[in-house]
Amino acid sequence: MKKLYKHIKKYIVLLRAYSVVDVLLLVLLARTIAIGHSLYTWRDGVTVAMAFALWGVLTLSLEAKHKHSYREEIRYGVPGTLLIVALCLAFFFNFYSVGGIMLVSFFSYCYIKKETNAFWGMTSSIWRGFYQVALFLTLWSLYVPRWYISWRVVGVSLVVFCLLFSRNLVADIRDVAFDRLTLVVFWGCKCSYLLILGSFLIGGVT
């Protein structure tokens, strides 16, 4: 029992439990944009399960890639298993969401390479924003019979991108003393603040 508790505690920490609210808000946003304020059904449970599975793909892949000495080792098999779970949910409940899952996987891969070289480090906030947009679209697709393009979906996607791009830059500013390859390190905090301000303005206008 103690061993099980230890494993559960480890994954709760690694999955960044404080991000639970973020994931649930994204599910609620996707649901509202797709079907409005209708009654909750079993599909909402599937959407929440997929959201946390895909969130785990990013966070646990990041931990497996970086292998911090002060944290327990995570094998790539764990996020790989979560990806398979998400794909199974997509195949059974809405095949169109498979495309979104592929996008989520691609942007997760791009983001976890942020400590590889200057290109990946400087563009990491962009990939993080694209990841969140892909996750939003994947969750949204679970509620619609087929993919379609509307200005409303495009506008919300742009706002989601701007918010996550800005938040990631804020985190990089906070960690500037420890990071080596982020945009903040190369361009400085002042330029990063301007990018954050511009991102908020774009999101606000949208």
pLDDT tens digits, 70-123: 456 667 777 788 889 899 888 888 888 888 899 999 998 998 888 788 888 888
On whether the CB atoms of residues 80 and 130 are closer than 8 A, the answer is no
Mean pLDDT for the stretch of residues 132-152: 86
Specify the pLDDT at position 74: 66
Specify the pLDDT at position 206: 62
Amino acid code (one letter) for 163: L
Asked whether the predicted pLDDT for residue 149 surpasses 80, the reply is: no
Q: Which of 202, 168, 166 is nearest to 182 (CA)?
A: 168
Q: Which of 131, 161, 6 is nearest to 62 (CA)?
A: 131
Whole-number Cα distances in Å, 166 to 58, 93, 113, 186, 190: 18, 33, 19, 17, 14
pTM of the model: 0.85
* pLDDT, tens only, 27-68: 999 999 888 877 778 788 888 999 988 988 888 777 766 665
Asked whether the predicted pLDDT for residue 159 surpasses 80, the reply is: yes
Which tops the pLDDT comparison, 154 or 198?
Answer: 154
